[in-house]
Amino acid sequence: MMRQYELVDRVRRYNPATNEALLNRAFVYAMKAHGAQKRASGDPYFSHPLEVAAILTDLKLDDATIAAALLHDTIEDTTATRGQIDKQFGKDIGALVEGLTKLKKLDLVSKRAEQAENLRKLLLAIADDVRVLLVKLADRLHNMRTLQWVPAEKRNRIAEETLDIYAPLAGRIGMHDMREELEDLSFRQLSPEAYQSIETRLANLRKTNKSIIKEIEDELTEELAKKKIKAKVKGREKRPYSIWKKMERKAVGFEQLSDIFGFRVIVPTADDCYRAVGIVHTKWAFVPGRFKDYISTPKQNDYRSIHTTVFGPGKQRVELQIRTQEMNDIAEYGIAAHALYKDNVGASMDSLAQESSAYAWLRRTIEMLAEGSSPEEFLEHTKLELFHDQVFCFTPKGRLIALPRKATPIDFAYAVHTDIGNNAFGCKINGKIAPLVTELQTGDEVEIIRGEGQHPPAAWESLVVTGKARAAIRRSTRAAVRAQYLGLGRKMIERAFARAAKPWSEERLNKSLSRLARASVEDVFAAVGRGEMKADDVVKAVHPDWREERKPVNKAPRSEGWFGLSRVASLKFRIPGFRGSVTGKPEDMSAPIPIRGINGDLPVRFAPEGGAVPGDRIVGILTPGEGITIYPIHSPALKEFDDEPARWLDVRWDIDDVTTQRFPARLLLRAKNQPGTLAQVAQVIGEHGGNIDNVHMDRPSQDFTQITIDLGVYDLKHLNAIIEQLRAKPVVSSVERYNG
């Protein structure tokens, strides 16, 4: 285990002005706090925070970060408290340690939810101070290096979490070396056979290619020197996980990969980078489509470099990365590298990180993720945001938008602004109208066509690839559904008060919220609309002296096709084309609830077996969590609700006679089994404006076919006209409407 003075010496090498007293106090405090605690390997527990601190000295971090690394497990795993840390080391270090401490005593139903809540806490702490992330990544790196000592049942979970979250986090802030090591350690645990196979092949390749690599290094260096560019050329080998992912992505074998070895060319200035590209491309032919300029267009994590591939010596494909030393340090150390180019080496990373666009992106992402979704959704969105490659697109005004691979214009719209995404209904890509599901390519100019009053369809959620878009679509869908339930609940409550002949107002209801165990009037509306609470219970809460008087149920004979009409005795129907009541007075709150269709402002669906159309006498059945299901009053399916009078709703049609909306109906046909029968049936329905949704055919005998057709029609008159035309066809033996 490293000694106290050795740690101080490591810091002093890059920061001669280090606060040795602070580091010594943190060392001693953490060692005493952990006491006789042991790691799973049997080593003293304190060896872990000491190794975490050592990893951070390689990044040349400030004294406060090194001290926080030494103390990072004290609040979580010892009797130390945040107050004690603040008193001993100051609130700055105390906040860092607190940010690294997992939530305790989480009352959550799943390990996944607990993982998500701890991640949420960590990311919120990172948004306040990036040093929390640097310590956490070093902590995770040391834990992965010693994963073999962890109980077997936990290893895969830790490795998966590392691969899904912490490695991408390291990549997003530009710490590529750490990201690659985390990926390889996770890969070795999760796929040991694949890892070993690639390692073996790489070892064999090193032996055969050693001389070729040296030859290319020397020839590149010499060629650049001739043009007075002093360059350092170093061959590098792809890591096993990177090779595995490329094999998976391109569906190729190891032998088919041509860029397992690449070369990093370090030159003095950015101008030299472009000169070097010209020299290399003049000397050797470049591979089309393999040139990328990340100097003029840096990645969001501040990565800058020029990538190109050429047919080098011996016609070998040679992948080159050309950059300056500063660019190289930022590529390796990410946010931490910003401290290397300041006069005050070892200064506070909190201030230096503000210059990093990677950190600015990370903060924006975290703020978006923190918008109250469930723990599981938060975890899903975090993975979506962190774990992807990128394409770069532009707005018509030239703003650069970075998106994950396979992103669509919908993702683009939400990346620009949530309101633009919510109002989008079309797009232009490079000036041409294109579908919203088009996969975007780097360089595309995307213009979003918007419409006021538009709302994103719920189906969009499965089409987008960014967490921001998915979260916004879910929020919009929930808001729309909640608004529907609010509207339904309000109507049901207003009518319940009217039936009870009791005065109604939101103010009265607000005073009775405690009796209903709801926080707001809107929560009550939504609960009633969803079927979680009875409207009559709301009346009782506001007027405790009221007692419901139910009339006995008088069931009509089955032959009449009516069921439980006492429940809907006040049933009224809207006259097509007429709005308002017959008398012209405001809507009677005891009147039936108006039904406009599935696109209205209430959560409405129609009976799954046969549907209902305007002109039918209808009744509504409230299904908790699903809204109102509309049945024709003569539907046999209503029998199953006879013993649940609270679910019956008084409803009426509210449809104009010029409506373009179709409603569901089902027909049963018995037709001759001969060529062209189905075509004739479909022709009749099409010619008369019906829309076929589904067809099912059975053959009960050799001569006849039973055809069940689900279709959409405007109203009962329209449906009856189609039925009459079908009956007139010689191939149709009989046709009846089916009502479930």
Active site amino acids? 76-77
d(CA 507, CA 31): 61
The one-letter amino acid at 574: R
d(CA 500, CA 498): 5
Neighbours of 506 (CB within 10 A): 13
Helices 20-34 and 47-58 meet at what angle, rounded to 10?
150
Going by their DSSP bridges, the two strands 604-606 and 627-632 should be labelled as parallel
Name the residue among 291, 289, 296, 303 with its Cα closest to residue 400: 296
What is the phi/psi pair of residue 531, to 5°? Answer: 85, 10
The CA distances from residue 295 to 25, 304, 321, in Å, are: 44, 5, 11
Counting beta carbons within 10 angstroms of the beta carbon of residue 545, is it exposed (0 to 12), middle (13 to 18) or buried (19 or more)?
exposed
d(CA 671, CA 439): 47
Counting beta carbons within 10 angstroms of the beta carbon of residue 221, is it exposed (0 to 12), middle (13 to 18) or buried (19 or more)?
middle
Strands (E), 396-490: 400-404, 424-429, 432-434, 446-450
**Which helix (H) or strand (E) element contains residue 623?**
strand 618-623
Counting beta carbons within 10 angstroms of the beta carbon of residue 460, is it exposed (0 to 12), middle (13 to 18) or buried (19 or more)?
buried
Q: Which residues share a beta bridge with 309?
A: 319
The CA distances from residue 560 to 441, 555, 565, 566, 735, in Å, are: 64, 10, 11, 15, 21
Q: Tokens 């106090």 — which residue?
A: 25
d(CA 323, CA 270): 7
- Taking a C-beta distance cutoff of 8 angstroms, is the pair 234, 263 a contact? yes
Handedness of CA 109, 78, 181, 370 (dihedral sign): positive
d(CA 485, CA 208): 70
The CA distances from residue 466 to 106, 189, 389, 469, 665, in Å, are: 29, 28, 12, 5, 39
**Largest distance between two CA atoms of the chain:** 104
Q: Is 140 helix (H, G, I), strand (E, B) or coil?
A: helix
Angle (nearest 5°) at CA 164 between 161 and 170: 100
Q: Tokens 């090498």 — which residue?
A: 13
Give the ranges where 301-347 is alpha helix by DSSP (H): 325-333
d(CA 110, CA 374): 12
- Taking a C-beta distance cutoff of 8 angstroms, is the pair 711, 691 a contact? yes
d(CA 694, CA 708): 8
Tell me the CA end-to-end span of the chain in Å, nearest whole number. 78
